[in-house]
Amino acid sequence: MRTGDDQVFWLALNYLVTDGYLSAGKALRYFDSEDKLLKPEPGYLNSCPLSFLAKQKILSGELLDRAGLEVEKLKGKEYTLLSFKDSGYPELLREIVEPPLVLYAYGQIEVLNLAGVAIVGSRHPTGYGRLLADRLADELAACGLVVISGLARGIDTLAHQGALRSGKTLAVLGSGLDRIYPRENRLLAEKIAAKGLVVSEFPLDSEPLGFHFPLRNRVLSGLSLACLVVEAGLKSGALITAGLALDQGREVMAVPGPVTSELSGGTNFLIKHGAKLVESAEDIVSELPFPWNEAALNRLTSRKQASPELSQQEKKVLAALPEKEVIHIDELSDKIHLPVSELLTVLLSLEMKETVVQEPGKFFRRRY
């Protein structure tokens, strides 16, 4: 992003949006030139349908003071700041009705303009949801797609972690970059920045306020070619994101679940109403626009055909792993009559050959 008055202008204008005084679309219409905000004429401001408090903030110079302080903070950070008018601003996001005015970015900035798929879902997933989110994210990232999610607990976290094993992921925050939320995902955010990107439209010190998350969700879906929901109740933020994706013309997909589970209510509802039913990564990439679908399918096929050489013992262990579930190491040991100490060595070798994935708690599964 450029320096000087231009940078201050966009940051000041963004405060009006993130403080909740007006939408991004209206901000772009009312203040289509810097002078209207930096050197406002009272007559012009009076003609704009703004609240009294918003006009006071503009006339008092408060917005400019805050923007100036933010510029100083940014000088000591490893962040990139993009405005709506910058050439690096992602084209997909520029097309939505309410595009963010600025993006604070931490990590590999080129990720913003790569093809991506959003994965969202419950903050308290079942084992089934955990398995599918991790596996699908892993496979999508291996296809060269960026996995996009919101760094929240549950499905979001699993999607980011799965993607990091095989490729790139992008986290969209509902707080500022200096206020990573939830706190336990700070280390994950650093890992994402090293291989992918963390972005936010909110000022650096912004807390995770409730109204930030619907705003965050429109950016998450807006950056994506498609949105996949993995486990969600009928009243969940994931369904809000799916609705935003539909409004933005994105493909909406969902993983089906058992009718007895509350966390399948939202996903099964989406499928009933036209969302693509997803059982595998192939189901997702086949619905993407050309040429991304073709490139991703080719990479997915090549990956599955490139089977590593395995020893007889490794083949025995791999064959004992269930197709679509996780298994605890003790159960696996009993199943194939192999001591846990010896089994761990074989499983480590299989992990290094990218055929097995270890889940928390010494649970294991096939990678694909």
The string of pLDDT tens digits covering residues 169-221 is: 999 999 999 999 999 999 999 999 999 999 999 999 999 999 999 999 999 99
pLDDT of residue 8: 93
The two three-digit tokens of residue 289, written as one number: 């626009």
Mark whether 326 and 356 lie in a shared domain: yes
- Return the CATH number at 340: 1.10.10.10
* Count: domains in the chain: 3
Given 281, 304, 327, the domain boundary residue is 304
For residue 86, being part of any structural domain is answered with no
Residue 347 domain-assigned?
yes
Q: Which of 285, 304, 323 is the last residue of a domain?
A: 304
Question: Which tops the pLDDT comparison, 145 or 312?
Answer: 145
Distance CA 64, CA 139 (A): 46
Any domain includes 104: no
Residue 1 has pLDDT above 70, yes or no: no
pLDDT of residue 105: 98
Name 114's Cβ contacts closer than 8 Å, sequence gap at least 6: 145, 146, 168
pLDDT tens-digit map of 273-290: 999 999 999 999 999 988
> How far apart are alpha carbons 254 and 122 in whole angstroms?
12
How far from 71 is each of 2, 109, 131, 258, 318, CA to CA, in Å? 11, 19, 42, 51, 54
Residues 59 and 157 in one domain: no
51 domain-assigned: yes
Tell me the mean pLDDT in the region 46-56. Answer: 90
Per-residue confidence (pLDDT) for residue 349, from 0 to 100:
85
For 344, the domain range is 312-366
CATH of the domain at 128: 3.40.50.450
One domain for residues 299 and 186: yes
pLDDT-derived band at 351 (thresholds 50, 70, 90) equals: confident
Q: What is the rounded CA–CA span in Å between residue 64 and residue 3?
A: 14
Residues 19 and 121 in one domain: no
At position 119, the amino acid (one-letter code) is I
% of the chain with per-residue pLDDT over 70: 97
User: Is residue 95, in this structure, part of any structural domain at all?
Assistant: no
Q: What's the predicted TM-score (pTM) here?
A: 0.85
Are residue 216 and residue 262 in the same domain, yes or no?
Answer: yes
CA–chain centroid gap for 175, Å, is 14
Task: Report residue 305's pLDDT band, with 50, 70 and 90 as the boundaries.
Answer: low
Query: Do 148 and 24 belong together in one domain?
Result: no
Asked whether residue 96 is domain-assigned, the answer is no
User: Is residue 358 predicted with pLDDT exceeding 90?
Assistant: no
Q: Do 135 and 263 belong together in one domain? A: yes
- Say what the pLDDT of residue 307 is: 67
Cα–Cα distance, 140 to 166 (Å, whole number): 8
- pLDDT single digits (tens) 68-107: 999 999 998 999 999 999 999 999 999 999 999 999 999 9
Q: Are 124 and 236 in contact (CB under 8 A)?
A: no
pLDDT for residue 2 is more than 60: no
Q: Is 292 or 190 the better-scoring residue by pLDDT? A: 190
